[in-house]
Amino acid sequence: MLRPRALFSYVVEHDQGFAPNPFYGVCTLANCKPVIRQTAEVGDLVIGTGSATAERAGHLIYWMRVGEIMSFDEYWNDPRFQCKKPVMNGSRMQQFGDNIYHTSPNGTILQSDSFHSRQGGVLSEENLRIDTGRTHRVLISADYAYFGTAAPAIPPALDFLVKHGPGHKCHFTPAEQDAVTIWLHGLGVKNLAGQPCRW
């Protein structure tokens, strides 16, 4: 596994299969974490660690190497990702679909009935602002591992990786990046290895 240009680490506070959405063989980050979505580039690593409220602090929920970046509208219209549009009366996997934003002909950003809307599909202005106010970028990866409830403990030697509290960490030395990528490669796990902690 090659050293990334940049590495982003943050706490996945609400691990419900929505952000990130690790299903259908592709991991996507289409909502929340606007600064990471705004600044990450293809080849970068994004790492989500567990929250204390889910009893997963200091554990690896997922990692993804960014393979594509597209806009909300591109994501909405791409045939590959129609399966990621939420179906609120479907399976849990379908209910937590993250392909929820697109632009109307008059330029209004529309929010689908989803985990980020209010009950009954009513617009959540707060989530709309967080998700779309700073960036319209969606991060996409076929090179990822999602652990959820099977999250492995992060070794003490890599404790520097763990972000405590809100926001994210992205300032790591080359040696630290190498240590992280070697560990991830050594886990030998790809794609979906567990279900979301809050299921």
For residue 1, the model assigns a pLDDT of: 73
What span, in angstroms and rounded, lies between the C-alpha atoms of 199 and 16?
Answer: 6
Residues for the chain: how many in total? 199
For residue 69, the model assigns a pLDDT of: 98
Side-chain-side CA neighbours of 37 within 13 Å: the count stands at: 23
Angular region, 126: left φ>0, alpha ψ -120 to 50, beta rest? alpha
For residue 47, the model assigns a pLDDT of: 98
What span, in angstroms and rounded, lies between the C-alpha atoms of 69 and 66?
Answer: 8
Angular region, 84: left φ>0, alpha ψ -120 to 50, beta rest? alpha
Domain membership of residue 71 as a residue range: 7-192
DSSP lists the bridge partners of residue 140 as 28, 68
For residue 2, the model assigns a pLDDT of: 77
Residues in contact with 137: Cβ distance below 8 Å, sequence separation at least 6, in sequence order: 37, 38, 69, 70, 71
The tally of domains found in the chain comes to 1
For residue 28, the model assigns a pLDDT of: 98
For residue 161, the model assigns a pLDDT of: 97
For residue 52, the model assigns a pLDDT of: 86
Q: Is residue 2 part of a domain?
A: no
Query: Which tokens sit at 159?
Result: 């404790």
For residue 54, the model assigns a pLDDT of: 75
Residues in contact with 88: Cβ distance below 8 Å, sequence separation at least 6, in sequence order: 95, 113, 114, 121
Q: Is residue 186 part of a domain?
A: yes
Q: Is residue 197 part of a domain?
A: no
List the chain pLDDT tens, one digit each, 199 residues.
778 889 999 999 999 999 999 999 999 999 999 999 999 999 999 999 999 887 899 999 999 999 999 999 999 999 999 999 999 999 999 999 999 999 999 999 999 999 999 999 999 999 999 999 999 999 999 999 999 999 999 999 999 999 988 899 999 999 999 999 999 999 999 999 999 998 9
DSSP lists the bridge partners of residue 9 as 47, 169
